């Protein structure tokens, strides 16, 4: 009986050792340098990372605005990402830096595969979901429709595209359409936008959210550029709705300035110029520049 028990223990130890080895082998990169706030998705929330931490293909990093992370793959390839953006670790994408446009395009197209995250919480912050409150935790993944009861301060990052700071006491609803998805690039005459509080005039350069009603009067003309790379033009007289889902995700290159959180204060022309020169993408001659598919949901 003892022999059988001992054999069983040995087998269990071997199985455990094998599973640990497999897990270690799956990790194929190290976070060589971390500056500022960089978070790693851990099942149900984002948690801070440290320099020297090992990561694997498929791991998702949220790099907050002003932060920077350098990833060195075991193959010797290196890539540096600067915030604000969300990227998926994938050695196949190195060194094309395709992650520069994936989060932007996903957010602009209304894709829900990138999380809404409570990046900072100070004081009392409660989340109400399904009729019940629970204490919010930094790094927690929020859902569209969650209610935040803020008595202190709470910062929410929406899909890696923009962040909002809420200072209490106040109650706010988490809305996946918080960030703008398009910009008025040309305007002839006048136009008016309604984001739920009534129509107000817009100008060239105005940023518009998903679901915004746009009123184009007679003899007016408006051109909208979506941040995922396509345009729509309307001539009056009509009322239309901004809908990024109607706009196919561009496959060739990032077009437009995405959001200020991703490309800073760069204009559409700046982005196109930089991408055309290869400065933003940081391509190495001879590397494949074909964009990868959108990141997989955690």
Instruction: Please name which of 96, 61, 99 lies closest in space to residue 78, comparing C-alpha atoms.
Output: 96
In a domain, 103, yes or no: no
Residues 168 and 219 in one domain: no
Rg (CA), the chain: 23
Residue 261 in any domain: the answer is no
| pLDDT under 70: residue ranges of the chain | 1-25, 43, 93-114, 160-161, 228-229, 247-298
Tell me: do 123 and 163 sit in the same domain. yes
**What is the helix (H) or strand (E) element at residue 114, kind and residue range?**
none
Check residue 84 and give its pLDDT: 73
Q: Are residues 162 and 220 in the same domain?
A: no
pTM of the entire predicted model: 0.47
CA atoms of 256 and 106, how far apart (whole Å):
14
> Considering the domain boundaries, does residue 95 fall inside one?
no
Residues 258, 270 contacting (CB under 8 angstroms): no
Nearest to 192 by CA among 150, 222, 227: 222
Please tell me the total count of domains within the chain.
2
pLDDT at 74: 85
Question: Are residues 155 and 204 located together in one domain of the fold?
Answer: no
Q: Within this chain, do residues 158 and 200 fall inside the same structural domain, yes or no?
A: no
Looking at the structure, do residues 149 and 169 belong to the same domain, yes or no? yes
* End residue of a domain, out of 158, 173, 188: 173
Task: State the pLDDT at residue 80.
Answer: 86
**Closest CA relative to residue 47, chosen from 137, 128, 146, 150:** 137
State pLDDT tens for residues 45-56: 788 899 889 998
> Which pLDDT score, from 0 to 100, does residue 173 have?
94
Q: Do residues 224 and 192 both lie within one domain?
A: yes
Among 133, 157, 173, where does a domain finish?
Answer: 173
Whether residues 168 and 202 share a domain: the answer is no
Within this chain, do residues 186 and 241 fall inside the same structural domain, yes or no?
yes
Evaluate whether residue 149 is within a structural domain.
yes
Question: Which two tokens mark 202?
Answer: 């817009």
Does one domain contain both 147 and 213?
no
- Can you read off the two tokens belonging to residue 146? 């969650």
For residue 47, the model assigns a pLDDT of 85
- Please check whether residue 225 lies inside any domain of the structure: yes
Q: Are residues 185 and 242 in the same domain?
A: yes
Examine residue 234 and state whether it is found in any structural domain, yes or no.
yes
Boundary residue ending a domain (131, 148, 173): 173
The range of the structural domain enclosing residue 211 comes to 180-254
pLDDT of residue 200: 92
pLDDT of residue 115: 76
Residue-wise pLDDT for 268-286, tens only, equals 443 343 333 333 333 333 3
Specify if 195 maps to a domain: yes
């Amino acid at each position: 009986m003892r022999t059988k028990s001992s054999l069983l223990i040995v087998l269990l130890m071997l199985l455990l050792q094998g599973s640990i080895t497999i897990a270690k082998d799956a990790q194929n990169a190290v976070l060589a340098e971390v500056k500022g706030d960089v978070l790693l998705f851990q099942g149900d929330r984002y948690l801070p990372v440290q320099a020297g931490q090992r990561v694997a293909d498929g791991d998702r990093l949220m790099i907050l605005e002003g932060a920077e992370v350098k990833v060195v793959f075991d193959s010797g390839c290196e890539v540096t990402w600067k915030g604000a953006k969300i990227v998926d670790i994938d050695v196949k994408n190195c060194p094309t830096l395709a992650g520069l446009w994936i989060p932007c395009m996903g957010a602009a197209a209304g894709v829900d595969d990138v999380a809404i995250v409570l990046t900072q919480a100070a004081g009392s912050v409660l989340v109400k979901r399904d009729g019940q409150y629970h204490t919010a935790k930094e790094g927690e993944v929020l859902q569209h429709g969650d209610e935040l009861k803020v008595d202190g301060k709470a910062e929410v990052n929406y899909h890696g595209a923009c962040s909002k700071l809420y200072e209490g006491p106040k109650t706010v609803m988490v809305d996946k359409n918080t960030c703008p998805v398009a910009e008025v690039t040309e305007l002839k005459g006048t136009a008016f936008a309604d984001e739920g509080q009534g129509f107000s005039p817009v100008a060239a350069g105005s940023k518009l959210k998903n679901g915004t009603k746009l009123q184009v009067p007679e003899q007016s003309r408006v051109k909208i550029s979506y941040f995922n790379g396509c345009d729509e033009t309307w001539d009056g007289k009509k009322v239309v709705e901004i809908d990024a889902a109607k706009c196919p995700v561009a496959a060739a290159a990032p077009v437009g300035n995405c959001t200020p959180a991703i490309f800073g204060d760069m204009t559409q022309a700046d982005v196109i110029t930089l991408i055309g020169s290869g400065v933003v993408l940081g391509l190495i001659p001879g590397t494949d520049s074909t964009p990868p598919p959108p990141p997989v949901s955690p």
